[in-house]
Amino acid sequence: MSRGSLRHGNSRGRERKFVLESGPSVNRSDAVESFRKAVAKTPESAYPDVPYAPRPLSVDPRNYYVQDGPDDFKATYERRVGGTTWHWLGTALRLLPNDFRTKSTYGVGADWPISYAELEPWYGQAEAALGVAGDDKANLGGAPRSSRYPMPPIPPTYLDSQVRSAVASLGYLVVPTPQARNSEVYEDRPPCCGNASCIPVCPIAAKYDATVHAALAASFGAKIVEQAIATFVETDANGAVVAIHYKRPDGSAHQASGKLFVIAAHAIETPKLLLMSRTASRPEGVANSSDRVGRYLADHPTQLSWALTKQPVYPYRGPLSTSGIENLRDGPFRSRRSAYRIEIGNDGWSWPFGWPTDSSKVLIDRGFRGTELQQALRDQMARELRVASLTEQLPDSNNRIVPAWDQLDAIGIPQPRINYRVDRYAQDGLASARAVHDKIFDAIGVTFRAHSGVFQSAGHIIGTYRMGTDPKHSVVDADLRAHDHPNLFLLGSGVFPTTGTANPTLTIAALALRAAATMRKQLAG
């Protein structure tokens, strides 16, 4: 959670830029060791939970979320310096032009207050800032470019080539996935060497994480205050934000005051903070005159499928995913059911079943021992294939997060109370994806196949403080400035009016850079 141009406490004199971060910093080598020792290799296993900044665990999202259903919201996040970019996959896709206008084009969802053309130059800047490796000629669904990727693509794997050859006649185009992962030395960080632990931690920092820009901010004089959990946004009678109140792990109370404020605490913690900041004059909370804060919560519900191929495809090499099928992301069908992109996994069956050590347990239970066990495990691992389709959800105002005033965390702050449902539009997209997965398996040749019976989470938390032109139906304007408060900006995927099918990180970065230009003008004026 960050703020710009703040004075801390009762300090006087030269203004400073403060970043209030709810969690602690991460030591990369400690994270690698924690992951190595963890029995369950989950996205969170490298980062032990902390009681003063808890977060949901993928093994049980009810550990922090108060789930009111009908479906459980399964996406998780990290509250520490660098946030969830510590364990993101690194996929850096752009949204498509039609993703910004689904209402006017297909009669569903909502139109954004900006177009792809307006955001396109900022996408290029975001790719440079994160360090994205990609193929300039790849067909990623129809998103035109005005700039080249900073680096050539991460090389496709042998598995990618086998899937590409098998499905070419079906019209499915397997292309390299743009990713914020170095394919060569970039910004003094090394190229990827294929450790295959991108989730939950890149041990050599070849994959981008937000500590890169945290360090850059500190080098320009920003003060990063760790373990500072925001609890209240204070406003004056004119609607300007004047201070952020926060607690430390020992329960002590502090505040930061200033001219301009930015809240970038993700699409769960940001609306929770705004709704917690209610007063007699603002009983609905901060930035919430529209009653839209906390609403339209979404993910990319995911269809997960896995199979054993007849011939070896040799997964577990390189980053966890290096290619995908992107030409199913748009079309007239979007008026009836969701689009999706297909991620081709290099991680074998680790998503549905865990790491290869878990497969060995299954084989042991089947009676394999000694060299026979080793051979059986080698044979299975060489033929494991996994694909996942990330679908889009339509915005639903009943999908929401509010503070759970009756269930508090370790330092007395309400936990998130969530009501969530996957709509028929996305469910029909999941059904379509299963059929396409079967076609892929038939084309490549498999001896076994399976599909997840319930939707999986892509780990993408979207919506809850949407952008728009009408203050009655949105929370921020096209520049991400709160309609209700001229000196408050809200960043992150919470501003997305719709989800599209692209992983959200690159769009978050592009919108943030665009908003930063507006902030500079506002401060200069």
Structural domains in the chain, CATH included, are: 4-524 (3.50.50.60)
pLDDT score, position 40: 80
CA–CA gap between residue 156 and residue 178 (Å, rounded): 11
243: nearest Cα among 8, 412, 14, 480? 8
pLDDT score, position 15: 58
Q: Tokens representing 399?
A: 């999908």
Question: Which among 460, 473, 483, 485 is annotated as catalytic?
Answer: 460
Higher pLDDT, 8 or 239: 239
Span of 1-10, 67-76, 360-369 with lowest mean pLDDT: 1-10
- Residues 241-256: what's their mean pLDDT? 95
Q: Report whether pLDDT(5) > 50.
A: no
Over residues 148-187, the pLDDT tens digits come to 999 999 999 999 999 999 999 999 999 999 999 999 999 9
Q: Report whether pLDDT(2) > 50.
A: no
pLDDT score, position 355: 66
The percent of residues above 70 in pLDDT, for the chain, comes to 96
CA atoms within 13 A on the CB side of 206: 25
Q: Report whether pLDDT(506) > 90.
A: yes
- Residues 339-347: what's their mean pLDDT? 97
Q: What is the pTM of this model?
A: 0.95
CA–CA gap between residue 323 and residue 114 (Å, rounded): 29
143: nearest Cα among 118, 117, 168? 117
Mean pLDDT of the chain: 93
Higher pLDDT, 206 or 2: 206
Band (354; pLDDT cuts 50, 70, 90)? confident
Q: At 342, phi and psi to the nearest 5? A: -110, 120
Over residues 266-284, the pLDDT tens digits come to 999 999 999 999 999 999 9
CA–CA gap between residue 506 and residue 503 (Å, rounded): 8
> Helix/strand/coil (H, E, C) string of 187-244?
CCECCCCCCCCCCCCCCCCCECCCHHHHHHHHHCCCEEECCCEEEEEEECCCCCEEEE
pLDDT score, position 9: 40
The percent of residues above 90 in pLDDT, for the chain, comes to 86
43: nearest Cα among 85, 81, 92? 85
Q: Report whether pLDDT(192) > 50.
A: yes
Band (7; pLDDT cuts 50, 70, 90)? very low
- Residues 197-211: what's their mean pLDDT? 96
pLDDT score, position 376: 87
Q: Report whether pLDDT(59) > 70.
A: no
Over residues 432-465, the pLDDT tens digits come to 999 999 999 999 999 999 999 999 999 999 999 9
Whether the CB-CB separation of 467 and 490 falls below 8 Å is answered with no
Q: Report whether pLDDT(232) > 90.
A: yes
For the question of residue 245 being annotated catalytic, the response is no
DSSP category for residue 439: H
pLDDT score, position 92: 98
pLDDT score, position 16: 73
pLDDT score, position 62: 75
Q: Report whether pLDDT(11) > 50.
A: no
Q: Which helix (H) or strand (E) holds 353?
A: helix 350-353
Over residues 281-305, the pLDDT tens digits come to 999 999 999 999 999 999 999 999 9
pLDDT score, position 155: 96
CA–CA gap between residue 410 and residue 194 (Å, rounded): 39
Buried b (16+ CB within 10 A) or exposed e, 65-87: bbbeeebbbbbbbbbbbbbbbbb
pLDDT score, position 3: 39
In 76-205, the DSSP E strands lie at: 174-176
